[in-house]
Structure 1
Amino acid sequence: MRTRLTVLPALVLLAAQLAVPRAGAEADPGVTVAVNARAGLETVSDTAVGANHAIWDTTLGTPEVADLMKGAGVQALRYPGGSYSDIYHWRDHTAPGGYVAPNTDFDHFMAGVRRAGAKPIVTANYGTGTPQEAADWVRYANVEKRYGVRYWEIGNELYGNGHYGSAWEADDHPEKTPAEYATIVKQYAEAMKAVDPTIKVGAVLTTPGDWPDGIVAAGDAGTWNEVVLSIAGPVVDFGIVHWYPTGSTGPESLSKTNRIADFVRMTREQATRYAHKDLPIALTEVNTSYGMNTQPGALFAADAFATLLENGVFTVDWWNVHNGPTSFSTIAGQPDYADFGLLSSAGCLADGTICQPALNTPFAPYHALAMTSRFAGPGDQLVQAAASDPLVKVHASRKRDGGLAVLLVNQDPDAAKPVTLDYTGYTPAASARVLSYTNGATGITTTTGGSATVTLPPYSLTTLTLRPKASTAAPSTPARPTAAAVTDREATLTWTPTSPGVKYEVHRQVGTTTEQWGETTGTSFTVHNLTPGTRYTVNLIARDNAGRVSWSSPPATFTTTTPPTSTCAVTFTDTNDWGNGYVGAVDITNTGTTSLDTWTLAFTWPTTWQQVTSGWNATWTQTGTAVQVAGTAPLAPGATANTGFVGAYQGPNAPPTTFTLNGTLCTTR
């Protein structure tokens, strides 16, 4: 969490400022945006856009705040507030060691939730509480008061209890290990579900690429996620991650959204590996480190929320509704108070020289949440979209009513961006409703424009809301296919039937384009001639006898294996991780019949933020993301060369998927 009037050292706001848009800046020559409605991504949940409430906030649950949350389309509100969750006792509304504001008890919170039309997410006290206390809270909430609280977290950031060195989270348990947390989480889940079997219980996980992910502490059987998912994974219903990316400039902080797809995917892969199931992911705290109250914060929020929803995160909860000022600077020409809140707390800096605007004045990220909730609502499906200019981020949403919305984020603080849009799988009417939030604005404006072109003001958010040129009946949308029998060269997709008499087209996503692999009237399809060690994303589209096509199914993603047999085999191991670097071991075995007098192993990092800093027992070189390891001695048949390196990373540390030895694809063990 981020506490009131406090900023963790890694997130201290620096004085660096973005350039104020200069008068008469030349417009960009043009940007092409491609939207492919056939390349379906994930569907938006009814808790997608959320925010955190905290019991030290004197305005928690007030009608004015609830109405502001409703006005922004906030669908989820989390309580009782970050690390306070692990000292809070709901029945007597106390938090020993912390400040509790008047009129912030659970019933006041729920009154605000109901007025806002949102859904509650409640964090039960793990640090200083008990399973029985949590079960009593469920009984009060859902049996006595009939509030219908569905989502319950067990504690907050418990990996910060001192087990890995840093201690900010209260934890009175004699053991602070992930095994102890997971074991007691099972007790919480059992006690709480005995009261209301319909609730969903979540366990705290670390975010891949963020401390202490990857670290194995003394005496532990694995990393925090490995241990927690192995023990508690089978009984919990979702995993909880938090994300506070760093950055001291606009470009640096805004670029961090490129980490999202990898850390969400890796969290899911960990759940599959250790809990043996597909575990839904909730990101219940997120904020930025630069321009928290100004346009960089708004641009980050819109891009991050949309990207997280595209990747299937079912709730994204901004920290916080109110928080308080910590420093002052001018960013992109606007006053910024380094305040994690969506709304002004009307606070002043310690010396009293600078004060915030009136209480509950919305900051820029508030308007970003409002834009996001209008762009993609519950039941809408995100689809693939991309821009030719890296400073323009684009997201698209196919609406339940047949419309299409395109969210465009211009990250250039100086230049307007004229955009030409191209649509695949959707034919829009000529006109569109245009929503715009510009730098320094006090709200979102609405105008009418065209569906094919739009000019994005500098440092702005723009959403085009489109209607189809012609509406026709279409077959039912197919369900998500399932990939099975995946080898290095083939995979079989299966699915449940939808409308009778339709053909199912099988499409592979390639960026914003799709390629059709084939079609069938059945409910399975086997694809051949795949590339080993490659991740594939596939959708189904149903087509009836009149040629009408359905919406795209949600995607199925699978990764082909490496060859089961080859003349070489490679084992890649992270042997000692410290959170942003590690010692890696690479064992290379000659499984062929010919001695290799000289040999070179080659692989490619999955991301741009992974790096070899040094190596041994071979000559290590890296160019871009490509790595080569040149042997220093011959490799006889059956022999293994043991080499290693020190690696560094600044985001999710995904291992490479394929290795070649002298150009031959190896088996990865």
Structure 2
Amino acid sequence: MLNSWKAVAGALLLATATAVVPVSPAPALAAADARVDVDVRAGLATAGDVAVGVNHAIWDSQLGTPAVADLLGDAGVTMVRYPGGSYADIYHWETHTAPGGHVAPDTDFDTFMAGARRTGAQPMIIANYGTGTAAEAAGWVRYANITKDYDVTYWTIGNENYGNGHYGSAWEADDHADKSPREYASNVIAYAQAMKAVDPDIKVGAVLTMPGNWPDAIVGTGDQGSWNQEVLSRAGSVIDFVDVHWYPGGATAAETLTKPAQITDAVHLLRQQLRDFAGDTSGRIGISMTETNVEIGRNTQPGALFLADVYSGLLAQGVFTVHWWNTHNGLGTVSEVAGQTDYGDYGLLSSGNCNDAGVCQPPLNTPFAPYHALSLVGELARPGDRFIAAGSDNPEITAHAVRRKNGDVALLLINKDPSVAQSVSLKYHGFTPVSGTPTVATYTNGAAGVVTGPAGSAATQTLAPYSISLVTLRPNPVAGTAPAAPGKPAATVTDRGATISWPAGTAGLKYEVYRQNGGAAELLGETTGTSLTAGNLQPGRRYTVNVVARDGAGRLSASSPPLTFTTATPANAGCTVRFRDVNDWGNGYVGQLDITNNTTAALPSWTLTFDWPTTWQSLGSGWNATWTQTGTTVRVVGEGALAAGATIGTGLVGNYSGPNVLPTVFTLNGTICTSA
């Protein structure tokens, strides 16, 4: 019909030159619901060879079976953890017993190793701290790596040993009379020395708490600091990595799906603790996350969306392995979530059991929704692939991306809206994709598996409600060879600037320095030298930068490793503020502010302002001043004058529901103060 209309219009135009034929305007393109930016110039961490992990447990009769090993291998699992959570602190490997717990047949260490090898995964072994000894752990290393030549590299000392009653809650077995972090640190040293005496090439990890999760920042009776502070300051010199767990909770599925936004700050705080308490200035100590899961939608789509977001976010921040709890776990409270039956099961795979009401799970080893999300993460985070910055302007859409070693870009898109499809406009920086229809692997709510095929374009994708899509994009070919990526930069900072330097590459290169800013990096400057001074930075702000090299033909290198630094506050300001967390209870704290007038003139009145660094922090109450909060800004109005050279103290109760990043920038009567 369209062709017939064109023929009639052409005949009319030929018949009368003066006739005007109205032309209907082209239909307006629908505005995209979200814009996602991807920037290859803003590099993050590189996925290692143990990035994608899961837990195995000795009470799981399917542990190490060929069917399960193959399912895990198909999902891209590269690390498996044994013997399973809190059971690790009652498990004795030589006798294959766990007094007080159930040990399923055919779940011994050798069976586990056979399954791990079939999967193609490295093991993460938990040495028994709660009821074991350093000698027992050393014997396990000897059996694994000397007798059997399994070459097991990663060994953690205990599971959640802060849950031994020292802070009031006791779920973790601990036979030590002293249950303090000081005692745990002392034993970590003994374990590490005994185990490395057998095999000096192993890596030993200590258990810490995730910043923002109980009992982070709580100081127990008789302790000099929190669990993390005590363990790191005493045992930091002998460990190779720290191990954390994260169950962030959430009253609803929607709230749970906001929690991955906390990852960058949580990992930043953990690394800050490593630097402050373990002297880890070079990043010698790695971070593993060996348990995470949700409370709502564990085996339906909320769990799948959470898994995809959390694994990708943690790996992008340099956590070297992330593990779901669990492979099998068993039937829990049955409910309906997003139109699907949820069995309240922490497992990736169905245990095939029934409850007393006659409700039964699907057949044994049927994959649940998080398994399919795991398979997409396994495809995204292949060993050697480099995470790159990706950002969305819509809170319902989360994006993660990697640049593969062959130059391809893989983009993981998550639609957290349970009922509305989202049209996404894709913008690329430093990368030009081949035009055409890309290959997209998608997992949708209630689907039996991932569906792969051509969809959308490199510029636009439509995401089904509650879905995960992995888009693979090939680059337009460029003649010649691009320069090598610059080495990791370093920075010297002031309150308003930073001098960034990096190792020299080949001659004739121009270097560009980018500041990460969501998915579209900001150019700070360019030079033919090997350093650049960036000005106009904000005091007390965290920045992450990358350096890229460009040759004379315009070819752009991959980015340098990222560098994160925080600018200082003014060194000799007219005021000084010291902010301290003096008493913490896990989701709130008493904060003390000491404000000093460094000038020679009294302040007849004073107002102090600061901003909370995150949206999950808030003011509870305050004293010795009038405290108010608007948005994320806190305003403190003094009750009297502040004399020259004098210090006044004031305090608050602060609340938090995530990593508690303390404010560092304070303004007194319009002047930015020195932070002590």
Offset at residue 524 of structure 1 (A) = 3.6
Tell me which residue corresponds to 2:12. Answer: none
Matched, 1:407 2:407: no
Matching residue within 197, 200, 215 for 2:200: 197
- Alignment-mate amino acid for residue 401 of structure 1: N
Q: CA separation in 1, counterparts of 2:289 and 2:55? A: 11
Deviations 1:258-278 (A, max 9, x none): 111111110000000110112
CA distance in 2 between counterparts of 1:572 and 1:30 reads: 42
- Structure 2 distance, partners of 1:74, 1:309, is 14
Displacement, 1:73?
Answer: 0.6
Shift in Å, 1:383: 1.0
**Aligned-partner SS, 2:493:** coil
Q: Does 1:437 align with 2:443?
A: yes
2:610 touches 2:635 (CA, 8 Å); kept in 1?
yes
Query: Does structure 1 residue 322 correspond to structure 2 residue 309?
Result: no
* Counterpart mapping for 1:14-29 below 5 A: none
The CA deviation string for residues 377-436 of structure 1, in whole angstroms up to 9 with x for no partner, is 111111111222210111111111110011110111111111221111111111311111
The reply to whether residue 609 of structure 1 matches residue 612 of structure 2 is no
With 471-480 and 352-361 compared, the bigger mean Cα shift is at 471-480
2:485 to 466, 477, 489: 477
AA in 2 matched with 1:391: E
Give the drift of 1:536: 1.1
* Counterpart code for 1:383: I
Q: TM-score, normalised by structure 2?
A: 0.93
Asked if 1:299 is matched to 2:305, the reply is: yes
Q: Shift of the alpha carbon at 1:551?
A: 0.6
Cα distance in 1, alignment partners of residues 332 and 515 from structure 2: 48
Q: Are 1:168 and 2:175 an aligned pair?
A: no
8 Å CA contact 2:32–2:425 kept in 1: the answer is no
Tell me the number of residue pairs that the alignment of Structure 1 and Structure 2 aligns: 641
In the TM superposition, what is the alpha-carbon distance from 1:490 to its structure 2 partner? Answer: 3.3
Q: Does 1:186 align with 2:189?
A: yes
SS in 1 for 2:107: coil
Return the match for 1:619 from 623, 626, 629: 626
Instruction: Tell me, yes or no, if the aligned pair for 1:367 and 1:437 is still in contact at 8 Å.
Output: yes
| Shift, 1:45, TM fit | 1.2
Deviations 1:324-363 (A, max 9, x none): 11111111111101100000001112x1420101000000
Matched, 1:289 2:295: yes
Q: Name whichever of 76-85 and 524-533 sits farther off.
A: 524-533
- Matching of residue 248 in structure 1 with residue 251 in structure 2: yes
Q: Secondary structure at the match of 2:516?
A: strand
One of 599, 606, 628 as aligned partner of 1:599: 606
Deviates more, 1:490-499 or 1:351-360: 490-499
Show the 5 A alignment for 1:21-170: 30-170=33-173
Matched, 1:346 2:352: yes
C-alpha contact (below 8 Å) 1:376/1:405 kept by paired residues: no
Question: In the TM superposition, what whole-angstrom CA distance separates every residue of 1:451-484 from its partner, at most 9, and x where no partner exists?
Answer: 111111111111110111214421112222122x
Task: Tell me the TM-score normalized by structure 1.
Answer: 0.94
Where 2:370 maps in the other structure, the secondary structure is helix
Amino acid at match of 2:419: D
For the 8 Å contact 2:582–2:592, the answer to whether it is kept is yes
| Equivalent in the alignment of 2:421 | 416
> Runs of 5+ in structure 2 lacking a partner?
1-29
Residue aligning to 1:5 = none
Question: Matches of 1:504 and 1:216 in 2, distance apart?
Answer: 47
Q: Deviations over 1:611-665 (max 9, x none)?
A: 1111110000001110000000100101111111111111111100200000100
Q: 2:558 aligns with which of 551, 562, 580?
A: 551
Secondary structure class of the residue paired with 2:314: helix
Conservation of the 8 A alpha-carbon contact between 1:536 and 1:559: yes
Determine the C-alpha separation between the residues in 2 that align with 1:503 and 1:138: 50
SS of residue matched to 1:558 = strand
Structure 1: runs of 5+ lacking an equivalent: 1-26
2:585 paired residue number: 578
Q: AA paired with 1:157?
A: E
CA offset at residue 500 of structure 1?
Answer: 4.5
Provide the C-alpha distance between the structure 2 equivalents of 1:146 and 1:545, rounded to a whole number of angstroms: 51
For residues 247 and 165 of structure 2, the distance between their equivalents in structure 1, rounded to whole angstroms, comes to: 19
Which of 433, 456, 464 aligns to 2:463? It is 456
Q: How big is the shift at 1:521?
A: 4.2
Deviation at 1:501, TM superposition (A): 4.0
Partner of 1:398: 403
CA contact (8 A) 2:247 2:292 kept: yes
Q: State the Cα distance separating 1:496 from its structure 2 match.
A: 3.0
* Amino acid corresponding to residue 572 of structure 1 in structure 2: F
Counterpart of 1:428 in 2: which secondary structure? Answer: coil
Code of the residue aligned with 1:635 in structure 2: it is L
Distance (Å, rounded) in 1 between the aligned partners of 2:653 and 2:199:
49
In 2, the alpha carbon distance for the partners of 1:498 and 1:319 equals 44
Is 1:641 matched with 2:648? yes
In the other structure, the counterpart of 1:13 is none
Distance 1:377 1:520, change over 3 A: same
**Take 1:197 and 1:446, find their aligned partners in 2: how far apart are those partners?**
45
Q: Is the 8 A contact 2:69 2:119 kept in 1?
A: yes
Check conservation: 1:376, 1:399, Cα contact below 8 A.
Answer: no
Q: In the alignment, what sits opposite 2:594? A: 587
1:493 to partner: Cα distance: 2.8
Q: What is the one-letter code of the residue matched to 1:503?
A: K
Structure 2 match to 1:24: none
Match of 1:566 among 563, 567, 573: 573
C-alpha distance in 2 between matches for 1:496 and 1:140: 44
SS of residue matched to 1:474: coil
d(CA) in 1 for partners of 2:138, 2:478: 50
Structure 1 residues 76 and 201, CA, compared in 2 at 3 Å: closer, same or farther? same
SS at match of 1:228: helix
Instruction: Assess if the C-alpha contact under 8 Å between 1:124 and 1:134 holds in 2.
Output: yes
Distance 2:496 2:394 in 1: 35
Structure-2 residue corresponding to 1:22: none
User: Any conservation in 2 of the 1:141–1:147 contact (CA below 8 Å)?
Assistant: yes
| Residue 211 (structure 2) aligns with | 208
Does the Cα contact within 8 Å between 2:619 and 2:652 map onto a contact in 1?
Answer: yes
Code of the residue aligned with 1:646 in structure 2: it is V
Q: 1:500 to 1:150 in 2, by over 3 A?
A: farther
Pairwise CA RMSD: 1.4
Secondary structure of 1:510's aligned partner: coil
Distance 2:278 2:627 in 1: 36
Counterparts of 1:370 and 1:597, CA distance in 2: 64
**SS of 1:303 mapped into structure 2:** helix
Contact 1:475–1:549 under 8 Å retained in 2: yes
Q: Quick check: 2:390–2:520 contact (8 Å CA) kept in 1?
A: no
- 1:20 corresponds to which residue? none
TM-superposed deviation, 1:218: 1.3
Percent sequence identity over aligned pairs? 60
Instruction: Point out the more displaced range, 515-524 or 181-190.
Output: 515-524
Q: Secondary structure at the match of 1:39?
A: strand
Contact 2:392/2:519, CA 8 A, preserved across alignment: no
Distance in 2 (alpha carbons) for counterparts of 1:346 and 1:471:
53
Alpha carbons 2:392, 2:518 under 8 Å: kept: no
Measure the CA separation in 2 of the matches of 1:357 and 1:222.
48
Give 1:28 shift: 8.5
Q: 1:529 Cα deviation (Å)?
A: 4.3
What is the rounded CA distance, in whole Å, between the counterparts of 2:503 and 2:185 in structure 1?
35
1:468 is paired with a residue whose SS is coil
Partner of 1:427: 432
Moved more, 467-476 or 264-273: 467-476
CA distance in structure 2 between the partners assigned to 1:295 and 1:534 by the alignment: 36
Deviation at 1:492, TM superposition (A): 3.2
CA distance in 2, matches of 1:494, 1:138: 43
SS of residue paired to 1:513: coil
